[in-house]
Every structure is written in C-alpha cells, then in structure tokens.
C-alpha cells in the first residue's frame, strides 16, 4: 500500500508540474490531455478535470501512505495469502511481466514516437518530445518549402548523420502509433545471372523501382517485373516528382519509350539513383532494414508502434474502468445484502432489466449515436461502465447477506457504529477475497469488449491505436498475414497473462484455505 501511495503521489506531482511548466511528461500529460479532449461539454474542454485527477492522485496517495504507517502490523491471513500467491509461479511471473509491460507503457513517448527526445542544434539542446507543441523545420535551419511544416526529426537525423556538431536522439521506435503515415517501403533486390531475386530462390514478381532518395520514397524509375526480368509498363520522375518518362518493357528491353523532360532521355536514365528495389505498398511486410520489424498497416502506420499504442489504451482504460465499476458494484451489492427488504427487491428488478438487454447491441446503438468527434475513451468507458457493475453486485450481495449475521457485525451495532462504518470498515474487509479474485477477470472482459467494439467499428475513433481495429485491418487484408498474426499474439498473450494471474489469485485467496474462522 505504501508503494502504491508513493507512486500515486509522484504521478500527481508530475502531472501538476508538467501543466504548470508547460511540459509533456510521459503518462502524466494524459490527465490534462483528456480534459481538453472532452470539449463538447464546454467551449475549451474541462480544464478542471485534469486538476481533479491530480487532487485524487495526491490525496489518495497520501491517505494510503498514512494508512500504511497507522494500520499496525499486516494481517497474518493476508500475509499467508500473498505468500501462497508467490508460490504459484505461473501467476507470479505473469504478474511480474504485466507490471513490466505497464512500466513500459508508462514511458510513453520516451519509447515510441516520431518526435526526437533531444536535438543538439546551434550548440543548444532542445527536447521536442517533452514539449506540448511542435517545433518547425525552420527552427533547425531548413529553408526550403517545408520550412513552416512540423519538424521531421527522422529526416534531420539522416541529414545530420555525419555531422559532429548536430545530433538527433530518437525514441527506440521512431514512429507515432497513429497519424504518422509512412511512405511506401522498399527492399533491395539481388541479381544473379541476369535475374533479380528478393531474398528467395524464386525470381521476383511485382513492382520495382530506382529511387532518388530511398528514405523519402522519391522514385526515379518504376518498372514491372515478371519472373525476375523487366516486363510491362515503366514510369519515371524528376527529383521534384514531375512525371517525364514512360515506356513498355519486354524481357528487360524497352519496346517503346516516351520522354518529355529537359535534357536528353539518356541523361535522365543515367541519373544517379539507387539500385533496383522491390516496392512494398501498404500494408508492407516486415522490413528490418527499413526499421519496420513487424511491417506496416494499410494506413501506413508502423505495426510495433500501433501495438504499443493499443497496449497503452488497454492500461488506461483498465485504470479508469476498474475503480468506478468496483465502487458502484461493491456499494450497491453490500447495501442490497445488508438492508434487504424493499431496497433489495427494487435493486434486483433494476439489475434484471439491465441484464436482459443485449449488451453488445446496446453499446453499439449508444456508441453510434455519439458523433465520432466526441467518441473518445471517456465516452466509450462511460457506456461500458453502465453495464459493467452488475456481476459484482450479485456477488457482494450474497457475501453481505452471509456476513451481516456474524457476531462482529452485531458487536459493531451494539457499540454504536453507523451503517457506513459497518459496511466499509467491518463488512468490506471480510469480503476482500471476492473483490481481488474478480479484478483480473474484469480486466479480461474489458479488453475483450474494447477489442470487439473496435473490430466492429463502433469503438474508439481512428486517432486511438486499438488492437480490435488492427485485427479488422488484418482480416480485410489476408495477403498481409503479419497484421493478424501480430495482433493475435499480443491480444491472446495479454489475456493469458491476466487469466494466469486470476487463477493464482483465486487459489491464494480461497476462503477455504485461509480464513478468520479457521
């Protein structure tokens, strides 16, 4: 508890510091970004929401730290349960891996992003990734027509590769999860006995090209290749992208040619350019030499960056969804079991009405009613919360019915304890096994629901990287199996980790093994 409290205080302090000093700190920037995101509720968003999150983090963290010092020694039953959980290696190591993934996701733009972590230009260091706004190309000496555009740090790094006074430090994956469309990828071909190959024993079939600049995908000549030999139409462009050449090839030789540029056709064909490279339009396959280890999506996004963005979305959604759903479910469930009577009957009828609604269809209807501009994470989570608390309520109701007849509840009543104190200080701690056991399986349900909605097109808007949308992209492009494979591996891997943790927690917190009444 003390460690969680300190982490909460640190995160709140970082968020407040970043807002006051106009810095975009990893993870901490998200609270105020969300407050600007829900602008449909107010002209300039909800700036108070960010400060409310800061207050909750700091005050909640302080409460946990103070509680850890004043609560006395740890409950021996809890100690035995934790020891038992650590003995179940499958669940324990799954938890360690999940925490490591959470720490990786919390690093945010330090790990994945197109903005440089640090740039040394003119003898000064700047840190673009931690600034709330974009710097321009002209801030780094670019004077061409792109001077007013946002700085392209990948291009700057290539241009300054041999410079001793200028330096660009990029994140580990130098691409944004979304909104960072890459030019078509390419891969170098190898010629053997007059036939071209692409890392294979079979001659290459498809589009090939020579490039003025491989990194920017500025083509010089593009050909059609069949069975490793040029066969079919060809096109050519100048360095500024003007089309000036067309031809038709057969067995590697031009049958017809047309050229309308300056200078001679021979000079144009002899211009300095790259060797022949296989052109890979999006979705492009994995090309490690281009920096795309898992390929690209049909929108031109790097798959690793997109998967990382989806991991962040799942962690953020879980951290918001779980406290709200458990607070509602636990409170209603304990009140239903403790008070009984007409309150219990009316609450059950209300839950039955909600339970009989087809969850997925209702979520789709409500989601489709919200304009896509406003369909961000807060709206989707609100819809999911409306239907997500009912399963917890029934379990807590049953536990409250059982526990309220215990002697310690009667003793608390005799001593004059009020209802809130009885519910939250006496009854709730004795039902903690149910709560802890439900957490992993609730996370699994949330991840599955978000992925399903995004796959069907009723989830988060395109500016969010989501695994469900990537899975749909892969199923729409079956010729690009790396999309489905990578999504399936990470999605199933995360669900397996959470399931292993849930099984270990259920085993460790089994009341038949460790209980106060043993």
Residues 6+ apart with CB under 8 A from 510: 433
Rounded Cα distance between 25 and 17, Å, is 9
Residues 6+ apart with CB under 8 A from 121: 139, 140, 141, 166
Instruction: Count CB-CB contacts under 10 A for residue 63.
Output: 13
Rounded Cα distance between 336 and 346, Å, is 9
Rounded Cα distance between 71 and 364, Å, is 46
Rounded Cα distance between 66 and 484, Å, is 48
What phi and psi values does residue 202 have, to the nearest 5 degrees?
Answer: -95, 140
Q: Say if residue 517's pLDDT is above 50.
A: no
Residue 184: band (very low, low, confident or very high) from pLDDT cuts 50, 70, 90: very high
Task: Please tell me the predicted confidence (pLDDT) of residue 513.
Answer: 60
- The 8-class DSSP code of residue 458 comes to -
Residues 14/29, Cβ–Cβ less than 8 Å: no
Tokens of 71: 């609560």
Q: What is the pLDDT of residues 403-427, one digit of tens each?
A: 888 888 889 888 888 888 888 888 8
Instruction: Count CB-CB contacts under 10 A for residue 247.
Output: 20
Rounded Cα distance between 216 and 506, Å, is 54
Rounded Cα distance between 272 and 450, Å, is 50
Share of residues in the chain with pLDDT > 70 (%): 95
Tokens of 315: 């962690």
Rounded Cα distance between 98 and 102, Å, is 6
Task: Please tell me the predicted confidence (pLDDT) of residue 189.
Answer: 93
Name the residue with higher pLDDT: 125 or 42.
Answer: 125
> Could you give the domains of the chain?
2-72 (no CATH), 118-169 (no CATH), 185-281 (no CATH), 303-508 (1.10.3720.10)
Strand order in the sheet with 243-250: 185-188, 277-280, 206-213, 218-226, 229-237, 243-250, 253-259
| In the block, residue with structure tokens 């990948």 | 154
Instruction: Count CB-CB contacts under 10 A for residue 187.
Output: 18
Q: Say if residue 201's pLDDT is above 50.
A: yes
Task: Please tell me the predicted confidence (pLDDT) of residue 515.
Answer: 47
Task: Please tell me the predicted confidence (pLDDT) of residue 269.
Answer: 92
Q: Which CB contacts under 8 angstroms, 24+ apart, belong to 235-240?
A: 236/268, 236/269, 237/212, 238/268, 239/212
Q: Say if residue 72's pLDDT is above 90.
A: no
Q: Say if residue 383's pLDDT is above 80.
A: yes
Rounded Cα distance between 453 and 492, Å, is 17
Q: Residue range 36-64: average pLDDT?
A: 72
Rounded Cα distance between 315 and 377, Å, is 12
Q: Is 29 exposed, middle or buried (0-12, 13-18, 19+ CB in 10 A)?
A: buried
Q: Say if residue 40's pLDDT is above 80.
A: no
Q: 3-state secondary structure string, 184-237? A: CEEEECEEECCEEECCCCCECCEEEEEEEECCCCEEEEEEEEECCEEEEEEEEE
Number of H helices, E strands in the chain: 17, 12
Q: 3-state secondary structure string, 496-510? A: HHHHHHHHHHHHHCC
Rounded Cα distance between 99 and 108, Å, is 15
Tokens of 516: 């106060």
Residues 6+ apart with CB under 8 A from 398: 337
Cα dist from 379 to 32, 334, 461, whole Å:
16, 28, 11
Q: What is the pLDDT of residues 283-301, one digit of tens each?
A: 999 999 888 999 999 999 9
Residue 496: band (very low, low, confident or very high) from pLDDT cuts 50, 70, 90: very high
Cα dist from 233 to 221, 224, 247, 295, whole Å:
11, 6, 6, 27
Rounded Cα distance between 230 and 257, Å, is 14
Residues 6+ apart with CB under 8 A from 424: none
Lowest mean pLDDT among 56-60, 167-171, 198-202: 198-202
Task: Please tell me the predicted confidence (pLDDT) of residue 260.
Answer: 92
Cis peptide before 283 (omega within 30 of 0): yes
Task: Please tell me the predicted confidence (pLDDT) of residue 46.
Answer: 62
Q: Say if residue 465's pLDDT is above 80.
A: yes
Tokens of 199: 């890392």
Rounded Cα distance between 226 and 297, Å, is 26
Task: Please tell me the predicted confidence (pLDDT) of residue 35.
Answer: 67
Q: Residue range 67-72: average pLDDT?
A: 76
Helix axes 341-355, 390-403, angle to 10 degrees: 150
Task: Please tell me the predicted confidence (pLDDT) of residue 43.
Answer: 44
Helix axes 432-456, 377-388, angle to 10 degrees: 130
Task: Please tell me the predicted confidence (pLDDT) of residue 518.
Answer: 41
Share of residues in the chain with pLDDT > 90 (%): 44
Q: Residue range 154-160: average pLDDT?
A: 91
Tokens of 32: 């105020």
Task: Of 494, 502, 391, give the one whose Cα is nearest residue 448.
Answer: 494
Task: Please tell me the predicted confidence (pLDDT) of residue 41.
Answer: 44
Q: Say if residue 469's pLDDT is above 50.
A: yes
Q: Say if residue 476's pLDDT is above 70.
A: yes
Q: Residue range 379-403: average pLDDT?
A: 86
149 SS3 class: coil
Q: What is the pLDDT of residues 332-373, one digit of tens each?
A: 998 998 888 898 899 888 888 887 877 777 777 777 777 766
Write out the H or E segment, with its range, that includes residue 82.
Answer: helix 76-87
Name the residue with higher pLDDT: 224 or 405.
Answer: 224
| In the block, residue with structure tokens 């997925």 | 360
What phi and psi values does residue 35 have, to the nearest 5 degrees?
Answer: -65, -30
């Amino acid at each position: 508890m003390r460690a969680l409290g300190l982490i909460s205080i640190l995160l709140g302090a970082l968020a407040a510091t970043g807002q006051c000093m106009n810095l975009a700190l990893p993870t901490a920037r998200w609270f105020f970004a969300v407050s600007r995101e829900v602008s449909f509720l107010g002209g300039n968003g909800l700036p108070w929401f960010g400060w409310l999150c800061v207050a909750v983090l700091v005050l909640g963290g302080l409460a946990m730290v103070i509680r850890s010092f004043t609560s006395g020694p740890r409950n021996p039953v809890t100690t035995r349960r934790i020891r038992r959980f650590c003995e179940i290696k499958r669940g324990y190591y799954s938890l360690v891996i999940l925490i490591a993934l959470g720490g990786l996701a919390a690093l945010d733009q330090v790990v994945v992003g197109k903005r440089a972590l640090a740039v040394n230009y003119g003898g000064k260091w700047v840190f673009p990734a931690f600034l709330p706004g974009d710097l321009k190309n002209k801030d780094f000496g670019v004077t061409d027509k792109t001077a007013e555009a946002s700085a392209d740090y990948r291009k700057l790094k290539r241009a300054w590769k041999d410079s001793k006074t200028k330096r660009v430090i990029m994140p580990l994956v130098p691409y944004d999860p979304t909104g960072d469309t890459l030019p078509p990828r390419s891969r170098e071909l190898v010629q053997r006995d007059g036939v071209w190959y692409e890392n294979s024993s079979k001659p290459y079939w498809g589009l090939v090209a020579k490039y003025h600049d491989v990194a920017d995908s500025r083509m010089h000549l593009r050909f059609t290749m069949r069975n490793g030999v040029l066969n079919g139409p060809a096109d050519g462009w100048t360095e500024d992208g003007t089309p000036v050449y067309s031809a038709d090839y057969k067995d590697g030789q031009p049958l017809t040619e047309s050229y309308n540029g300056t200078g001679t056709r021979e000079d144009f064909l002899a211009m300095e350019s790259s060797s022949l490279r296989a052109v890979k339009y999006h979705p492009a396959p994995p090309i490690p030499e281009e920096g795309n280890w898992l390929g690209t999506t049909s929108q031109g996004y790097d798959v690793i960056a997109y998967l990382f963005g989806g991991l962040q979305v799942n962690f953020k959604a879980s951290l918001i969804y779980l406290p709200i759903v458990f607070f509602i479910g636990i409170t209603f469930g304990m009140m239903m079991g403790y008070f009984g009577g007409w309150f219990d009957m009316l609450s059950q009828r209300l839950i039955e009405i909600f339970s009989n609604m087809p969850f997925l269809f209702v979520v789709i209807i409500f989601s489709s009613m919200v304009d896509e501009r406003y369909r961000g994470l807060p709206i989707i989570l609100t819809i999911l919360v409306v239907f997500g608390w009912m399963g917890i309520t029934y379990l807590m109701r049953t536990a409250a019915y059982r526990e309220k007849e215990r002697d310690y509840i009667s003793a608390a009543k005799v001593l004059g304890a009020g209802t809130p104190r009885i519910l939250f200080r006496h009854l709730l701690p004795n039902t903690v096994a149910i709560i802890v056991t439900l957490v992993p399986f609730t996370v699994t349900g949330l991840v599955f629901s978000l992925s399903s909605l995004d796959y069907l097109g009723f989830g988060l808007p395109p500016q969010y990287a989501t695994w469900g949308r990537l899975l749909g992209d892969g199923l729409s492009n079956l010729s690009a199996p790396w999309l489905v494979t990578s999504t399936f591996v990470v999605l199933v891997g995360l669900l397996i980790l959470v399931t292993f943790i849930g099984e270990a927690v259920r085993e460790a917190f089994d009341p038949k093994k460790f209980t106060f009444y043993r």
